[in-house]
Amino acid sequence: LHKPKKKKKRLLLLLSSTLLLLWLGCWHSTAPPPPSRTHILLLSSWRLGSTFAGQLFSQHPDVFYLMEPAKHVWHHLPGGSPELLQGPARDLIHALFRCEMAVLQDFVHQPHRVSQIFMLHMSRALCSPPTCEAFRGGDIVRQVKCEAHCNASPFGKAAETCVTYSHMALKVVSFFQLEVLYPLLTNAALDLCIIHLLQDPRAVYATRRLISLYPDDLLISWAHNAMPNARLVMHKVCHSQAGMYLATFRHPPPALHGRYLLTCYEDLVRDPLGQVAEWYCYTSLASSPQLKAWVHNITHWSRDASKVLLAWRHQLSFHQVQEVQEICKPAMEVFGYRPVRSEEEQRDLAKDLVGSAWSGWEVLVGVTNQFFDL
């Protein structure tokens, strides 16, 4: 655990970094984006299927996409609490939506190359001209080829590329309160569309057991003066996801109207083409036969996508499932995920455990207080 002096030192670093971001916004701005630019924020949490969802935007020829740019803030300021880091992360996103890519240079080492942007190879736009001349602008680029041919491109090319796109999409997993994003919604210079992606907490827990997220888990646990703890992290993830959804009914700003869309990952897997069509309509993007073929191919691999979706029902013990259901009970109720009462029920794949999220009426009758008091 950190000593008080170290915590104070990191807090000062956090505040100074926020001021630095504001200064950069004034002095390192590029040409303003066209007024018709649409800004898409794919809002999720760790291991909720958002990487796949992000690619549905990244591979669109009209979209400039970045995967988890706020990760730079979390890695640069590891001593702060998740709540304290939300402000600097939001300010970074605001700058990126204006194509002010220079703000990222303060989080990476010299020499500045696009390879230092987190998960560069997940962005088709950064694997295309003018950032990278190895591929054509409309190509659907494989990640491994992008990594092989585009790593050495100068950092400044990223902003030059960004301003040529009509849409910009950012995937973020580091927000726990929707209210933190309200300044972006009320900014007249942004045409913001929020897509909130969620998944069954039991599936999330099963995936987290297979993939290490130690640095992020450590940050959440430190905020509670504890060592990395699966129960603590799952509680934070579940309650923040439900809290953000319920905030859309609890005194939301007028600017939020028509700018928030909730999507279950289960719906995306079961009907990818239908869900993508809804997203593209919501964000004013046109599809193409090439994109439809790509979506069909990546969602019909040798292992059926629906079986992958239900993998937790075999991977977890009934005791583990009970524990997750206890921790995430309020969130599961809000989002309509049905609990299992026995191991037999858990293993019975014919039993559908996905319902529908609460409607506005259910929220308005006063069932949200438990979330907003946490």
Q: Are 21 and 91 in contact (CB under 8 A)?
A: yes
* pLDDT score for 339: 97
* pLDDT score for 227: 53
pLDDT (mean) for 117-139: 83
pLDDT at 1 over 90: no
Other beta carbons within 10 angstroms of residue 359's beta carbon come to 9
Q: How far is CA 29 from the centre of its chain?
A: 25
Q: Which domains does the chain have, with CATH numbers?
A: 38-99+163-372 (3.40.50.300)
Average pLDDT of the chain is 81
Question: How far is the C-alpha of 217 from the C-alpha of 230, rounded, in Å?
Answer: 8
pTM of the predicted model as reported, rounded to 2 decimal places: 0.84
pLDDT at 92 over 80: yes
Q: Is 76 helix (H, G, I), strand (E, B) or coil?
A: helix
Question: How far is the C-alpha of 329 from the C-alpha of 242, rounded, in Å?
Answer: 11
Q: For the segment 168-221, what is each residue's pLDDT rounded down to a tens digit? A: 999 998 899 999 999 999 998 999 999 999 999 999 998 887 765 555 655 565
Q: For the segment 320-372, what is each residue's pLDDT rounded down to a tens digit? A: 999 999 999 999 999 999 999 999 999 999 999 998 887 655 555 545 555 55
- The model's confidence at residue 28, banded by pLDDT at 50, 70 and 90, is very low
Alpha helices by DSSP H, listed for the chain, are 4-27, 50-58, 71-76, 82-97, 143-150, 156-162, 182-185, 201-210, 214-222, 230-247, 265-270, 272-282, 289-298, 305-309, 312-315, 318-327, 329-335, 343-347, 360-364, 369-372
pLDDT (mean) for 140-155: 80
- The model's confidence at residue 317, banded by pLDDT at 50, 70 and 90, is very high
Q: Are 223 and 82 in contact (CB under 8 A)?
A: yes
Question: How far is the C-alpha of 60 from the C-alpha of 45, rounded, in Å?
Answer: 23
pLDDT at 131 over 60: yes
